[in-house]
Structure 1
Amino acid sequence: MQEELTAGITLNVIPTKQFKTTRINISFLTELSERSELVMRTLLADLLETSSQKYPTQKDVALELSEMYGASFGTTVDRRGQVHSLNFILNCVNDNYLLEKIDLLAKSLAFLQEMIMRPLVDKQGFDQATFTRQKQNLKAYIEAVKDNKQTYAALKLQENYFETELQKVPLYGTVADLEELDATKLYHYYQKVIATDQVQIVISGDVDPVLVQAQLKKLALPARPKKQLSLTYQQAKRAVVTEVSERQELNQSKLDLAYRLPVSYRSKDHYAALIFNALFGGTPQSRLFANVREKASLAYYANSSFDPFRQLLIVQTGIKATDRRKAQALIAEQLVALKNGEFSAEQLEQVKLHLLNAYESRLDNQQTEMTRTKLDLLAQRSISASEWKKSLLQVTKEDICRVAALVELQTVFFLDGGQS
């Protein structure tokens, strides 16, 4: 059931008896205009997860959740294409499984209203001590990312592939933007988020949709101008491949490649692109795994991933520095082979079965269904599980070859470990 509670705020209730829990997602969504918003929204998530006026410390928050029969609560941020989302997620036992008569759903919504709408503040903005602590924690997290070299290489590839600053920068923002942030500035931005972001509320569980709608009025979220958010980020093709190298003393070098693949989420070729990626490097049955890692022994790991929201295909490998050119050439050969249809009907069926099994296993995850609902709203197109399976099974060899022909190498990042 989908309802518009007020302008810019939608409610989706997924009634189900499959789970013993009730799960509530409240997401604030927008298209960002400035790079600094990335770190502001990340820090907001940290602050609003750990304190409020009624629960000024993390211990107070934890004690209240314990009183709610061990409910769990957390905040996340994510980016799909051009849309950034700040999410509040609460999971509690369904009322039907409690020994005593208590409206735990109502208590959960009251808790969310407190955490979202009543942050811990002082005269200057967010409470200074809490703000300083969370700012230091976020700075430490951002700086620690460079110690994970696989993640570091992926982020450097992203930085050199994208043309726009908002896509170049990691989801959580930069230390430079964080350093310029104070409690007053962040509080003013919080007020803007609460007043203008589009809001999606998704609730899954054995609940009464009518009762849920009535209880949600207690959140007191104001109406805001309605906006249609653009989910897909598109980037023009580059005439020349960008190649960037960086030297560090490492045991293992990283060779990452970014390809443009102009296929968007839920488009006609979306399912062919999923299968192409699985054949290329997305599964243990893939050509990168079989030929680059296993047969040629040129990589410690070799895989690919496809982001339909940014029309981006990424290959990540861990190699010896001396094998860079051989590995890159062999990766290119695997792409050419798929463009030429060099895969059997049996391989195609195995990959389809692998993707179907993975999809069906995710159907047993309550959060997965809620995320899919959120994306369907953004994409303005809903598809049932049976339609998804049918669309995947209908993909032909010719479809995959056509999608493979769209793939164009744009950026190469090589993290040279200097080993022989």
Structure 2
Amino acid sequence: MQISITDGVDLILIPTQQFKTNRIVVSFMTELADVRSLSIRTLLSNLLETSSSDFPTQSKTAMELSKMYGAGFGTTVNRHGNIHMINFVFNCIDDKFLENPVGLVDAGFTFLKKMILNPLAEDGEFDQETFLRQKQNLIAYVNSIRDNKQSYASLKLQEGYFNEAAQKSPVFGSAEELEKLTSKDVYDAYLEMIKNDRIQILVSGDIDENLAAERSKDFNFAERKPEYFDLNYAQPLKKTVSENVEKQKLNQSKLDLGYRLDVPYRSNLHYAALIFNGLFGGSPLSKLFVNVREKESLAYYASSSFDPYRQFLMVQTGIQSANKEHVIQLIADQLKALAIGDFEDVLVESVKSSLINNFESRLDNQMTAVNRAQNDILTGTYVSNEDWIRNVLSVSKAEIMEVASKVKLQNIYFLDGGN
């Protein structure tokens, strides 16, 4: 159920008695801008998660949550295609499981209001000590990514694949941009977010709908332009394949390949793309896993993943440097096999079953329902659990072949560890 609080601010109710907890999520959404904006919004989310004027330290924030029977609170940042989100997530036990109910959903709204609208700031700047601490923590985290070579290679592949700076960059921004930021820069961005971002307040659980509506109004968010966001980022097809080679002393080289797969999220071939990915490299049954890793023993790992919001298919492998060209050809052979239908029906059914089992297991996570409700609103489509399963089961071999034929190699990143 969707209720308009004011222009650009919506309450989305997800009533359920499946869980012993209730969850409130306040999402701020805007269009992606640049790397600086990504960096600012990540740092902003960290500042607003750890302190406010009411609870100026992490320990005091934690103490307040403990008073609410160990309620949970945190922030996340996400990039869905063209959209950037900052999410404030509050989770508490349902009052009916308490011997003495205390109105935890009501208390949760009060807590969120204090954390979001009453930051630890004065005279147009965040508290300097807190700001510098969170800034250095985030810079240290960003720099640590280089030590995880698999993650580092995937980020370098995306840097070479995408044209736009905000798509090239990791969702958390860059250390270079973070270094430049002042507390005033981030506070100005905070004011901009509160004033102009599209806002969704999502409440899941066994909830009083009138209470949720009234408490959502208590945020007193001003009306803003109710922009339409297109989740899907579509990058034009490049005519030539680019390659970037970097050398480091490693025991294992990383070979990652980036493909354009023109199947937008929840489009006609969306479910066929899910199955294709499972057949290609997204499961232990896949051709990359079975043929490249197991039969040929050419890779320590070989997998694929698909981002439908950005129509981006990525293959990641860990190999010996001398096997690079052989592995590239073998990956191309697996893709060609799928495009011409060289795969058994029994394998398709196994992948479908695996996808459905994973889907059903995620239904036990309350955040899954929240995320799906949010996507329903943003895409203007609704897919029930039964519809999702039915759509997967109905995918034909011809549709999988059609998806495979759409896959176009765009770039290669090779982290050469030497011999």
1:112 corresponds to 2:146: no
2:248 maps to which residue? 248
Structure 1 residue 100, shift from structure 2 partner: 1.1
2:183 maps to which residue? 183
Structure 1 residue 220, shift from structure 2 partner: 2.0
Structure 1 residue 124, shift from structure 2 partner: 4.5
Supply the AA of the counterpart residue of 1:132. L
2:306 maps to which residue? 306
Distance 1:322 1:225 in 2: 56
2:130 maps to which residue? 130
The DSSP-based 3-state class of the residue aligned with 1:219 is coil
1:231 maps to which residue? 231
Tell me if the contact between 1:43 and 1:138 (Cα under 8 Å) persists in the aligned partners: yes
Distance 2:305 2:84 in 1: 20
Tell me if the contact between 1:122 and 1:128 (Cα under 8 Å) persists in the aligned partners: no
Structure 1 residue 176, shift from structure 2 partner: 1.4
Supply the AA of the counterpart residue of 2:73. F
The DSSP-based 3-state class of the residue aligned with 2:55 is coil
The DSSP-based 3-state class of the residue aligned with 1:42 is helix
Distance 1:63 1:208 in 2: 26
1:18 maps to which residue? 18
Structure 1 residue 96, shift from structure 2 partner: 1.0
Supply the AA of the counterpart residue of 2:271. Y
The DSSP-based 3-state class of the residue aligned with 1:14 is strand
Across the aligned residues of Structure 1 and Structure 2, the Cα RMSD in angstroms comes to 0.8
Q: Following superposition of structure 1 onto structure 2, how do residues 236-385 of structure 1 map, counting pairs within 5 Å?
A: 236-385=236-385
Tell me if the contact between 1:110 and 1:219 (Cα under 8 Å) persists in the aligned partners: no
Distance 1:111 1:204 in 2: 17
1:210 maps to which residue? 210
1:160 maps to which residue? 160
1:92 maps to which residue? 92
1:409 maps to which residue? 409
1:40 maps to which residue? 40
Supply the AA of the counterpart residue of 1:67. K
Distance 1:211 1:112 in 2: 15
Q: Is there any run of 5+ residues in structure 1 with no aligned partner, and where?
A: none
Q: Deviations over 1:22-62 (max 9, x none)?
A: 01111000102232100000000100001001100001100
Distance 1:417 1:93 in 2: 50
**TM-score of the superposition, structure 2-length normalised?**
0.99
The DSSP-based 3-state class of the residue aligned with 1:405 is helix
Distance 1:220 1:241 in 2: 51
Distance 1:32 1:399 in 2: 32
Supply the AA of the counterpart residue of 1:134. Q
Tell me if the contact between 1:253 and 1:416 (Cα under 8 Å) persists in the aligned partners: yes
Tell me if the contact between 2:11 and 2:216 (Cα under 8 Å) persists in the aligned partners: no
Q: Deviations over 1:341-379 (max 9, x none)?
A: 011111111111111111111111100110111111111
Distance 2:244 2:184 in 1: 39
Supply the AA of the counterpart residue of 2:95. D
Q: Deviations over 1:66-121 (max 9, x none)?
A: 00100010001000101000000010011111111311111110000000000001
2:387 maps to which residue? 387
Identity %: 50
Q: Deviations over 1:266-303 (max 9, x none)?
A: 10000110000000000000000000000000000000
Tell me if the contact between 2:264 and 2:309 (Cα under 8 Å) persists in the aligned partners: yes
Supply the AA of the counterpart residue of 2:370. M
Structure 1 residue 221, shift from structure 2 partner: 1.8
Supply the AA of the counterpart residue of 1:44. L
Distance 1:216 1:412 in 2: 48
